[in-house]
């Protein structure tokens, strides 16, 4: 259970837990908090953490793909290879951290509303902003300065969004390459000219099951969620439901075969339970 493969699985599962936790937390903040200095500040910080753990999920899926790729391709033992746990930790946690720091810094500095919304917020400043806006534009757009609305620069689309989305696309492309290469190697090894037609069908079924297990582990299903039309058509609505289903069940689809249905995990859990009783 303490092998490198399981340690990688644990880190991936942890990113699922934390990203979902901060998703719930940010939703709760947005629902119950108002636009005072402390509330908006906490909400913005939770969004940054949500982004970080969500991005870390993709990088740990890349680590899963890289580990499998090395395991299938390398002629030496994976445990003795140049890739150690510390290297995977740097990839899974370190690279997303650097990306998020760069993205959040540039986004915060480029936002024209950050100082007035959650850093230097007070009633006199807000009143002055309303008056100046009315003088310059000839109208009192009260909804732009709604006291009960949380505002954060990290939820708005901006020119720096590619810093976040670019690595995600690269990771998914690399994992797609890993998947194709791994399945080609697996099918080649399973195929034997001396096997009967029935045996070949059985081997193909084994390869198909392996494919179905690996696809969610590498996050290939996220490829479907990249394109998100917003024109309100039937196709857009169907795609939105598919995206919601895939994103909501991603963690379950991975943990089911690699944790809950894993024979090794179940035996260890059973033995620990018997000793505890």
pLDDT in tens, the chain (277 residues): 678 888 999 999 999 999 999 999 988 887 776 555 566 778 888 999 999 999 999 999 999 999 988 888 765 555 556 778 899 999 999 999 999 999 999 988 876 554 444 445 444 444 554 445 455 554 444 444 444 555 677 877 778 889 999 999 999 999 999 999 888 887 777 666 666 666 666 666 777 777 888 888 898 888 877 766 666 778 778 888 887 788 778 888 888 888 888 788 788 888 887 787 7
For the beta carbon of residue 150, count every other beta carbon within 10 angstroms.
21
Write down the domain spans for the chain. 4-125+161-220
Output the CATH code of domain 4-125+161-220: 1.20.1070.10
CA atoms 133, 138, 142, 143: torsion sign: negative
- Please identify which residue in the block is written with the tokens 């998947």: 179
- Please identify which residue in the block is written with the tokens 């100082």: 115
For the beta carbon of residue 58, count every other beta carbon within 10 angstroms.
21
- Rounded to the nearest angstrom, the gap between the alpha carbon of residue 155 and the centroid of all alpha carbons in its chain is 16
């Amino acid at each position: 259970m303490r092998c490198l493969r399981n340690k990688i699985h644990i880190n991936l599962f942890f990113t699922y837990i934390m990203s979902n936790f901060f998703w719930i937390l940010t939703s709760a903040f947005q629902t119950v908090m108002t636009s005072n200095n402390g509330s908006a500040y906490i909400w913005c910080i939770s969004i940054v953490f949500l982004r970080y753990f969500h991005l870390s999920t993709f990088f740990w899926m890349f680590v899963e793909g890289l580990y499998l790729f090395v395991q299938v391709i390398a002629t030496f033992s994976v445990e003795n290879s140049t890739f150690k746990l510390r290297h995977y930790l740097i990839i899974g946690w370190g690279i997303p951290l650097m990306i998020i720091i760069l993205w959040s810094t540039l986004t915060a500095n480029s936002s024209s509303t950050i100082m007035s919304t959650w850093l230097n917020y007070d009633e006199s400043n807000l009143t002055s902003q309303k008056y100046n806006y009315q003088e310059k534009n000839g109208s009192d757009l009260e909804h732009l300065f709604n006291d009960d609305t949380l505002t954060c620069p990290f939820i708005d689309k901006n020119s720096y969004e590619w810093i976040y989305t670019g690595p995600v696309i690269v990771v998914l492309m690399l994992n797609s390459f890993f998947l194709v290469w791994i399945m080609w190697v697996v099918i080649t090894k399973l195929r034997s000219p001396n096997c009967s037609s029935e045996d070949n069908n059985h081997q193909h079924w084994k390869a198909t099951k392996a494919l179905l297990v690996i696809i969610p582990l590498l996050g290939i299903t996220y490829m479907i969620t990249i394109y998100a039309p917003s024109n309100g058509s039937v196709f857009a609505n169907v795609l939105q439901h598919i995206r919601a289903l895939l994103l909501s069940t991603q963690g379950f689809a991975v943990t089911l075969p690699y944790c809950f249905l894993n024979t090794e995990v179940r035996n260890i859990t059973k033995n620990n339970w018997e000793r505890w009783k």
